[in-house]
A and B are shown apart, each in its own frame.
Chain A
Amino acid sequence: MELLTDWVEWLPRLLSGLWVSVQVTVLALVIGIPIGFVLAFMSSARNAIVRWLTIIVVEVGRGMPALVMLQMVYFGLPEAGVVLDSFAATVIALGLTTSAYTSEIIRAGLRAVPEGELEAADALGLKRGDIVRFILIPQGFRIALPTLMGFAILILQVSSLAFTLGLPELLSQAYSIGASTFEYLEVLTLAGILYLVITVPGGWLVENFEKRLSKHLA
């Protein structure tokens, strides 16, 4: 019973934290996915220099832990004269990470478009640009969608690392409640449950989508 009253008391603060987590996640995705899309195309560019530079940028973005990216943007950019608050820094850092990862996801999606469909489009006399716009991109995006959704869930989880920048998201709210009440186990567990409320149904949705898609392509 005491646990319940505690939880009810903490919930508003935790929910406001969750709201911040969701905001930075959505903004990171909104910024990162379009960049990822462009990178996906650049990484298969004809020009070898463009292609290799893109591949290096993407590999660096994917190889670097999100925590390093966050700290680098927040503590490092001021040295270059760009001072950001923790919210903006989080959005930018997660956005960069997103663009690197999603470029690979989208590239894989584009590559998975069956060769035969592209040939059929060729044989119908469709122009290169039309094939890319009406066949390759919609189809590739559809194939990539479940993985992109899975990645969106992952980024929500990663956003918890922004507590190291002092962003008042879910984990930092939970931690500071813990610090003042010493009920670490209870409040952190509740925070964990709040994450689960989003990530678990999200995961089911992704599974469902994947199943439907694999039936679709079969």
Chain B
Amino acid sequence: MTDPQPKAGETILRLNDIRKVYGDHVALGGVSLDVKRGEVVAIIGPSGSGKSTLLRCVNQLEVPDSGTLEVLGSNIDFAGRVSSADLLALRRKVGMVFQSFNLFPHMNVLRNVSFPQERVLGRSREEADKVSRDLLERVGLANKMENFPQKCSGGQQQRVAIARALALEPQIMLFDEPTSALDPELGLEVLAVMRRLADQGMTMVVVTHEIHFAAEVADRLIVMADGAIIEEGVPSELLAAPKTARAKQFLSAITDR
């Protein structure tokens, strides 16, 4: 939906030794991860393994206790304080889609997508609306623009949420279980949109339980457990033959249902 990135291959997101502790519970025990431009990384793992926390650390909804983050060339070291200007700059480059959609219920679909553009990018209302209409059409919601979110199905709401994030022209998109709150059929609509986005070269980090999506779309699959990355590799290979016992156990648990 945004133009295919010219230079493929360079690392645009680098997490280095990210730690996050809640009380005495280690949610992330020093996680490092590199993501290249245009790459689609899928993350799976049991509940509580730190997947959401990892994504939330990337766009600073959660501030790590230590570690460094490099996004498109700018560095953040969590040993010191992060300035709010740096924070806003970071969030402009990184879009995020939540499990629970989180649309603004007092704005209609079009406003949901246009309003952030006006405030964050300083676009005029007409400019923003034009971008929004275009994006909403592309996610198949041309006829829903005037509706309020609660009048839309979950799948439609999630597609609006994706359009809302894309409208700010992020370079990296984070998805936290975008289809977990949806019936399988509605989930497919959302996955189709994500698949197209991947084809167009968007850099994506996707936490998901959709093994098929991970196998077919992702360039790399990461398995997390207990706040650490325990295994990573090419999805088809990893799924066929996990090396660690923990990954094997988790995969058989979710595929044997």
A/B contact in complex, CB under 8 angstroms? yes
Chain A interface residues (CB < 8 Å from chain B):
114, 116-117, 119-128, 130, 134-135, 138-139, 142, 215-218
Is A126's CB under 8 angstroms from B120's CB?
yes
Which residue of chain B has its CB nearest to the CB of A126? B119
Choose the segment among B16-24, B95-103, B217-225 that binds chain A (4+ C-beta atoms closer than 8 Å). Answer: B95-103
Interface of chain B residues 89 through 132 with chain A (CB within 8 A): 91-92, 94-96, 98, 100, 102-106, 115-116, 119-120
Is A127's CB under 8 angstroms from B104's CB?
no
Tell yes or no: B33 within 8 A of A by CB: no
Interface size on B, residues (CB 8 A): 25
> How many Å lie between the Cα of A49 and that of B147 in the bound state?
45
Task: Decide yes or no: A142 and B106 within 8 Å by CB, A120-B98, A123-B59 being known contacts.
Answer: yes
Tell yes or no: B164 within 8 A of A by CB: yes
Is B98's CB under 8 angstroms from A119's CB?
yes
Which listed residue, B104, B150, B161, touches A135 by the CB 8 Å rule?
B104
A-B contact pairs, 7 of them (CB 8 A): A120-B103, A120-B161, A123-B61, A124-B95, A125-B88, A125-B120, A139-B106
Known: A116-B100, A125-B88, A135-B104. 10 other contacts (CB 8 A): A117-B105, A119-B98, A120-B161, A121-B104, A121-B116, A123-B98, A125-B116, A126-B116, A215-B150, A217-B105
Q: Is the interface of A mostly helix, strand, loop or mixed?
A: helix
Chain B interface residues (CB < 8 Å from chain A):
59, 61, 84, 88, 91-92, 94-96, 98, 100, 102-106, 115-116, 119-120, 150, 161, 164-165, 168
Across chains A and B, which 6 residue pairs bring their CB atoms closest together, nearest first? A125-B91, A120-B102, A116-B102, A123-B96, A124-B116, A125-B92
Which listed residue, A117, A124, A130, touches B168 by the CB 8 Å rule?
A124
How many Å from the CB of B102 to the closest CB on chain A?
Answer: 4
How many Å from the CB of A140 to the closest CB on chain B?
Answer: 10
Which listed residue, A120, A124, A130, A138, touches B106 by the CB 8 Å rule?
A138
> How many Å lie between the Cα of A119 and that of B125 in the bound state?
24
> How many Å lie between the Cα of A119 and that of B84 in the bound state?
15
Is B88's CB under 8 angstroms from A127's CB?
yes
> How many Å lie between the Cα of A121 and that of B61 in the bound state?
10
